[in-house]
C-alpha cells in the first residue's frame, strides 16, 4: 500500500494505492489523511483507467506531412521543438511564443511556476491559462478593493454561509469560507451544529437541496440579486456599522447605487420572490459569522466583475473578516512567514500577481488587461490570427484541451491550425493533440513526485502533503518541468527559480525542483516530505496581529468604476421570460453545470462514465419538454446568436423552467463526425469572443446564453420554427 493524493482536480484528497508487482490494482480514500479523512470522489477512485488506458501516450508524436502522426523519441522531439522555437524567436521575437496551462497543470506543483520562469528566460510575457476563462473576476475584485490582512473567516466558525453559483459537493472546489471540497461531509456536520445555508443557483443542485434558503435566480442575474441583498442590509441598518466606518471607503456610494434594486425590482428581474430575498438578506446579516463564496456560476455569466465585486462588498459591509488574535484561517505552509495584521491593505501594497500597478500589460489585439501575472485566454485566438508585430506563431499547451474548452470553438480551431508550431503535453490523445505538430507524453500524477500546491492556499489547518511517485513510468515519458528544462538547455536560456537556477544537465530530482520553487516556505520542503500521507504542523500557530500603527488605509468598495456597472444594469430593459437575445427569438438561457463523474474534459475514459453514458445531456424542466413536444433522449438543435450544436434533451425537475443546463468540456474535434450520444456537445461553440464580452478581461458570456431549441427532421436537418411550433406546442 502506497500513500499519495489525487490530482484529478485540485481538492488533493488523500488516497491509498494498492500496488502489486509494480502495477496499481486499487485506489481508496486514505482514512488517516488529516484533511480528506478517507473521502474520495467517483473520479479519483477510477484514476487507474488513465494510467492503463490502451490509448495512453508512451512516447512523443510528430505530425506528418500527410496529417497523421508518427512516434519519435522524446529527445528527438525536444531537439526539433527547441530548434523551431529558436527560429521563431529569431524571426519574430519572443512575444511570438505563447503557452497555455490547463487545469491539469494547476494540479502539478512544478508545472505552472516552471512555465512562468521559462517565459522570463526567453523574454516572452505571453503566458495564458484556464484561470482567465474560469474565474478571473475574483482576482480583479481583490486588485480593485484591496485585501484584509487577517484573511477570511472559516466555515468551521460560521453561523451562516451563502454559496453563489457553486456546487462544491460535486465540483470539489474549495473557496475559503465555504465547504471544503476535500471533505464535503463537513457541511452536514456544520449544519447539525446549527450552520444556516443560503444557496443562489438556477438549479436545485446537490448543495442547494441542503439549503435553508434556495434562491433560484434567473441565469445571469446574480448581480441584480446581490445588489438587492445589499440594499436590504444597508437600508435596514443590518451592516456592521463600526467596521464600515473604520475600515471601508465608498459605503455611501454603494448605498446610493444599490437603491434602485428594491425587492420588487429584483423579483421582476431575477425571478426570486421579494419575501425570499428579504429573508435571505436578514439571515446572512444576522450572522454573526460566515462568508459569501462563489464558483463559476456568476463568473462565467454576464457582468462577472460586478458580481464578484458585490460578493466582496457583502462580506465587508457585514464585517466578515478574521480579527486580531484569531488564528489565521489559511496558514499556507509553502509561502514565507510574514505578519498578518488585522487591517486593510490597498491594491498598491499587494504582491506582484495581485498588484494592478504590476499588471499593466495589455493584449496587442483586444487590449484585455493582464491579471494575476498572465494575459487573458479569451483573446489568445485573436493574437494568433491577427497579422502584425507580436503575432503569436508558436503555442505550447500544458495539461489542457483548448479545442474543447476555449470559448468560440470555431475560432479556436482556426487559430490552432494557423500556428507555425503547436506542442501539447498530455497523458492521453485529445482533440488538441490531434492537431498538434508535436505531442509530448507526460507522466501520470501517480508516476511523479508532487506537493499540494494549489490546495496549500486553501487548507484551513497548517497541513501539507508531499508524495513520491508510487508507480514506475514508461521509459520515454517525462514530467512537464523536465520538458521546459530540456528546451532551456537546448536553447541556451537557463531558467531561474526562486531558489536558484534550474539544473538541466544532469536533471535534478523533482524534490530538488520543489526546494528551488519554495525556498522560503514556512516549513522546509524536505521536512514536509519526511511525512508519508501529509502532516499537520501544529507548531505553526499563526495569529492575526494588531494593526500596524500609523497605517490607516481603507478597503475601497467603489474603486475602479466597478459599481458604476449597477447603473448600466438598471438602464437595461427587464428580461422577458422566453424572449431572450437581441431579437427576442431565443426561448431559453443555457447555464453551465457540474457532473460528479467528470472534471472538465477528464473522465470520459473512466468505466463509470461509460456506464452512465458519455454525453452531456441538455437538461430542461419537464414542463419544457411538454411545451415543445420533445421526447426524452431526442436529439435537438441548440442555437445561440453565434452558432448551433446538437444536444440530447433530458428532463430534470431541479432545473428552473426556461433554462437549459449543460456541462462544458464535451464534444470532439469539429472535423470529426461523432455521435452526440457518445461524445456529447461542445457548448463553447455557442460562445462568441467578439460580442457580449467583458472589456477588461475579455470574459465572454459562457453561461446564461440565450438559446432556442429546434427539432430535427429524420435526416438531422433543423425544422423551421413555424413547422416546429405549429404541430408540437401544446
CB 69 within 8 A of CB 77: no
- Sign for the CA dihedral angle at 280, 281, 287, 291 comes to positive
Q: Which of 162, 350, 147, 354 is nearest to 247 (CA)?
A: 147
Looking at residue 395, the DSSP 8-state letter turns out to be E
Strands 588-592 and 705-710: antiparallel
Q: How big is the CA angle at 4 (ends 665 and 115), to the nearest 5 degrees?
A: 55
State the DSSP H helix or E strand holding residue 422, giving kind and residue range, or none if neither: strand 421-426
Do 173 and 97 fall into the same domain? no
pLDDT at position 727: 32
Residues of the chain with pLDDT under 70: 609-614, 673, 714-730
Do 474 and 416 fall into the same domain? yes
Do 200 and 69 fall into the same domain? no
Do 118 and 244 fall into the same domain? no
pLDDT at position 599: 73
Do 160 and 270 fall into the same domain? yes
pLDDT at position 724: 42
**Which domain CATH number covers 27?**
2.20.25.90
Do 584 and 722 fall into the same domain? yes
Residue 335 within a domain: no
Residue 571 within a domain: no
Strands 69-72 and 23-29: unpaired
Q: How far apart are the first and last CA of the chain?
A: 60
Do 610 and 715 fall into the same domain? yes
Looking at residue 427, the DSSP 8-state letter turns out to be S
Do 253 and 167 fall into the same domain? yes
Q: pLDDT per residue over 313-369, tens digit each? A: 999 999 999 999 999 999 999 999 999 999 999 999 998 888 988 899 999 999 999
Looking at residue 123, the DSSP 8-state letter turns out to be T
Q: Which of 501, 530, 509 is nearest to 449 (CA)?
A: 509
Residue 377 within a domain: no
Give the domain range for residue 313.
152-321+557-564
**Which domain CATH number covers 694?**
2.40.40.20
Residue 405 within a domain: yes
CB 227 within 8 A of CB 566: yes
- The position carrying cell 492575526 is 544
Do 159 and 307 fall into the same domain? yes
Q: How many Å is the Cα radius of gyration of the chain?
A: 25
**Which domain CATH number covers 161?**
3.40.228.10
State the DSSP H helix or E strand holding residue 344, giving kind and residue range, or none if neither: strand 344-345
CB 431 within 8 A of CB 404: yes
Residue 629, CB-side half-sphere exposure with 13 Å CA sphere: 12
**Which domain CATH number covers 90?**
3.40.50.740
Record the pTM. Answer: 0.95
Overall domain count for the chain: 4
Q: Which of 401, 397, 378, 403 is nearest to 670 (CA)?
A: 403
pLDDT at position 722: 41
Do 174 and 121 fall into the same domain? no
Residue 705 within a domain: yes
State the DSSP H helix or E strand holding residue 69, giving kind and residue range, or none if neither: strand 69-72
Residue 423 within a domain: yes
Residue 388 within a domain: no
Q: Which of 368, 528, 391, 447 is nearest to 98 (CA)?
A: 391
Do 500 and 594 fall into the same domain? no
pLDDT at position 669: 80
Amino acid at each position: 500500500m502506497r500513500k499519495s493524493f489525487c490530482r484529478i482536480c485540485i481538492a488533493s484528497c488523500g488516497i491509498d494505492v494498492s500496488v502489486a508487482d509494480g502495477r496499481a490494482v486499487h485506489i481508496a480514500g486514505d482514512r488517516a489523511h488529516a484533511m480528506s479523512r478517507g473521502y474520495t470522489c467517483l473520479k479519483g477512485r477510477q484514476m487507474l483507467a488513465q494510467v492503463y488506458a490502451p490509448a495512453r501516450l508512451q512516447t512523443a508524436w510528430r505530425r506528418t506531412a500527410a496529417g497523421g502522426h508518427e512516434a519519435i523519441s522524446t529527445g528527438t522531439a525536444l531537439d526539433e521543438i527547441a530548434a523551431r522555437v529558436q527560429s521563431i524567436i529569431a524571426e519574430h521575437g519572443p512575444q511570438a511564443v505563447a503557452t497555455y496551462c490547463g487545469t491539469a497543470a494547476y494540479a502539478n506543483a512544478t508545472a505552472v511556476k516552471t512555465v512562468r520562469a521559462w517565459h522570463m528566460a526567453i523574454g516572452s510575457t505571453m503566458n495564458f491559462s484556464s484561470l482567465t476563462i474560469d474565474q478571473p473576476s475574483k482576482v480583479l475584485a481583490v486588485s480593485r478593493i484591496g485585501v484584509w490582512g487577517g484573511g477570511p473567516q472559516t466555515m468551521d466558525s460560521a453561523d451562516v454561509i451563502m454559496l453563489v453559483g457553486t456546487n462544491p459537493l460535486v465540483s470539489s472546489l474549495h473557496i475559503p469560507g465555504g465547504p471544503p471540497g476535500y471533505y464535503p461531509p463537513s457541511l452536514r456536520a456544520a449544519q447539525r451544529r446549527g450552520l444556516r445555508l443560503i444557496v443562489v443557483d438556477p438549479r436545485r443542485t446537490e448543495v442547494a437541496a441542503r439549503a435553508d434558503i434556495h434562491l433560484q435566480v434567473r441565469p445571469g442575474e446574480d448581480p441584480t440579486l446581490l445588489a438587492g441583498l445589499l440594499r436590504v442590509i444597508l437600508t435596514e441598518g443590518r451592516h456592521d456599522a463600526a467596521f464600515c466606518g473604520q475600515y471601508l471607503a465608498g459605503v455611501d456610494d454603494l448605498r446610493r447605487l444599490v437603491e434602485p434594486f428594491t425587492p420588487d425590482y429584483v423579483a421582476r428581474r431575477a425571478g426570486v420572490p421579494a419575501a425570499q430575498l428579504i429573508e435571505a438578506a436578514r439571515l446572512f446579516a444576522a450572522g454573526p459569522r460566515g462568508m459569501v463564496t462563489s464558483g463559476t456560476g456568476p463568473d462565467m455569466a454576464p457582468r462577472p466583475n460586478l458580481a464578484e465585486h458585490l460578493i466582496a462588498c457583502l462580506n465587508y459591509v457585514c464585517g466578515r473578516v478574521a480579527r486580531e488574535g484569531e488564528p489565521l484561517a489559511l496558514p499556507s505552509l509553502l509561502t514565507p512567514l510574514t505578519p498578518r495584521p488585522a487591517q486593510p491593505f490597498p491594491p498598491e501594497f499587494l504582491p506582484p500577481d495581485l498588484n494592478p500597478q504590476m499588471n499593466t500589460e495589455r493584449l496587442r489585439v483586444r487590449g484585455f488587461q493582464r491579471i494575476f501575472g498572465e494575459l487573458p485566454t479569451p483573446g489568445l485566438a485573436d493574437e494568433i490570427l491577427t497579422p502584425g508585430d507580436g503575432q503569436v506563431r508558436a503555442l505550447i499547451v500544458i495539461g489542457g484541451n483548448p479545442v474543447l474548452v476555449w470559448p468560440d470553438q470555431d475560432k479556436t480551431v482556426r487559430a490552432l491550425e494557423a500556428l507555425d508550431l503547436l506542442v501539447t503535453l498530455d497523458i492521453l490523445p485529445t482533440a488538441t493533440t490531434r492537431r498538434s505538430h508535436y505531442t509530448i507524453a507526460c507522466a501520470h500524477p501517480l508516476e511523479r513526485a508532487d506537493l499540494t500546491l494549489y490546495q496549500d492556499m486553501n487548507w484551513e489547518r497548517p497541513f501539507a502533503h508531499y508524495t513520491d511517485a508510487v508507480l514506475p513510468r514508461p521509459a520515454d515519458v517525462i514530467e512537464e518541468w523536465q520538458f521546459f528544462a530540456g528546451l532551456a538547455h537546448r536553447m541556451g536560456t537557463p531558467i531561474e527559480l526562486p531558489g536558484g537556477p534550474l539544473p538541466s544537465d544532469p536533471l535534478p530530482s523533482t524534490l530538488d525542483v520543489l526546494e528551488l520553487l519554495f525556498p522560503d516556505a514556512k516549513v522546509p520542503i524536505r521536512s514536509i516530505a519526511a511525512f508519508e500521507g501529509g502532516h499537520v504542523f501544529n507548531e505553526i500557530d499563526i495569529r492575526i496581529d494588531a494593526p500596524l500603527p500609523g497605517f490607516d488605509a481603507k478597503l475601497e468598495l467603489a474603486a475602479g468604476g466597478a459599481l458604476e456597472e449597477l447603473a448600466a444594469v438598471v438602464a437595461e430593459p427587464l428580461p422577458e421570460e422566453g424572449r431572450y437575445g437581441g431579437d427576442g427569438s431565443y426561448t431559453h438561457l443555457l447555464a453551465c453545470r457540474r457532473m460528479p463523474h467528470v472534471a472538465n474534459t477528464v473522465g470520459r475514459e473512466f468505466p463509470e462514465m461509460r456506464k452512465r453514458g458519455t454525453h452531456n445531456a441538455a437538461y430542461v424542466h419537464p414542463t419544457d419538454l411538454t411545451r415543445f413536444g420533445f421526447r426524452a433522449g431526442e436529439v435537438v438543435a441548440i442555437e445561440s446568436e453565434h452558432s448551433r450544436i446538437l444536444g440530447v434533451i433530458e428532463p430534470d425537475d431541479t432545473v428552473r423552467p426556461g433554462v437549459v443546463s449543460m456541462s462544458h468540456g464535451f464534444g470532439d474535434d469539429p472535423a470529426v463526425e461523432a455521435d452526440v450520444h457518445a461524445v456529447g456537445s461542445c457548448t463553447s461553440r455557442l460562445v462568441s469572443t467578439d460580442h457580449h464580452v467583458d472589456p477588461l478581461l475579455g470574459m465572454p458570456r459562457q453561461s446564461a446564453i440565450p438559446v432556442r431549441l429546434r427539432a430535427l427532421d429524420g435526416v438531422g436537418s433543423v425544422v423551421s420554427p413555424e413547422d416546429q411550433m405549429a404541430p408540437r406546442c401544446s
